[in-house]
A = this chain, B = another copy of it.
């Protein structure tokens, strides 16, 4: 009846006794139901329901070597981007009868390794990595183990991944600022070991280089993917003279940090310095000065990522996916609407 109200859950053997059959019969009846008389299946299932039977995953996992768990590694769940991707992952996993097991790695290799080991100890049936590095020594190990895995958000050469087309996204941002006439621009470039930051920056610089206005290295600053990182990077970039007239941040939270740094410097967002972010998180549109941002389908990235993982685990051939980003122009780059 009510599965949460029982003290000691019934076991297979108890169900078997109550139904007057052998435990193996119960196991089969509750499973595919093949090789068992239809009437028996119905009866056993009724008894199991009656007793509120819930299989013990530990016992099941011990015997079958499958845990029903999918491990997920992310840099931080406090990063809304990853949290949103995770929700997409979890939704599809739940539909397929899997549970997700998530862990923060803080983008620290040593922590990553430890957290992954913990997931492997739990005998997860697959792994989703949201914190892949461009030169990632963990990925070959996972591959060598034969464990199904997929990367989301970030990619790494030679590994299955679901990402957005970050080169294109960066280019969109660059072309937008070019069209607005910005000739001296700066980039808050994120972490140098993550494909997202690197490729978004690359696409942006490509656009400027193609226009004959290459962005010099000193106008590109790396940092963590949070408000603080954006603020710190922008403070340095804004100290240059002449000052850049626009800043592209490869992450919306970085962009908000940039806004804070602008304010601190007595500059107005959009009017004195244009700001463009990336991901178009839900609050970008609601800020006192709405943020221009490259929208990336985060939820879909999660859903597609888990779908690919499950397909791969089922032995189907799968290829990496690059989802298409789109530019959303708002007042932080275009205060007068154009």
| A interface residues (Cβ-Cβ under 8 A, vs B) | 2-7, 54-59, 61-62, 67, 76-78, 80, 83-84, 86-87, 90, 99, 101-104, 113, 116-118, 120-123, 138, 141-142, 144-146, 226-228, 230-231, 253, 256-257, 259-260, 263, 269, 282-283, 285-290
Contacts and interface: CB of A to CB of B under 8 A. Distances in A.
Contacts of A227: 282-283, 286
B287 A288 contact: yes
Q: Across chains A and B, which 3 residue pairs bring their CB atoms closest together, nearest first? A: A260-B286, A58-B61, A58-B62
Given A227-B283, A231-B286, A259-B288, A5 B141 contact: yes
A67 B122 CA distance: 10
Given A145-B4, A256-B287, A288-B288, A57 B122 contact: yes
Contacts of A231: 286
A230 B138 CA distance: 42
Given A117-B4, A269-B288, A287-B259, A282 B84 contact: no
Contacts of A56: 62, 121, 123
A272 B150 CA distance: 50
A144 B3 CA distance: 13
A282 B226 contact: yes
B288 A5 contact: no
Quickly give the copy total for this chain: 2
Given A122-B57, A259-B287, A263-B288, A78 B67 contact: no
Contact of A7 (B58, B59, B145): B145
A260 B285 contact: yes
A283 B256 contact: yes
Contacts of A2: 141
Contact of A99 (B118, B141, B226, B287): B118
Given A58-B61, A145-B7, A286-B257, A87 B104 contact: yes
Contacts of A253: 283
Q: Which of A103, A113, A282, A289 is packed against the most chain B CB atoms within 10 Å?
A: A282
Contacts of A78: 80, 83-84, 87
A116 B282 CA distance: 29
Given A57-B121, A58-B123, 15 more contacts: A7-B145, A54-B117, A56-B121, A57-B58, A58-B59, A58-B67, A76-B87, A78-B87, A90-B103, A99-B101, A253-B283, A256-B283, A256-B287, A257-B283, A260-B285
A89 to B, nearest CB: 11
A289 B146 CA distance: 51
A142 B6 CA distance: 10
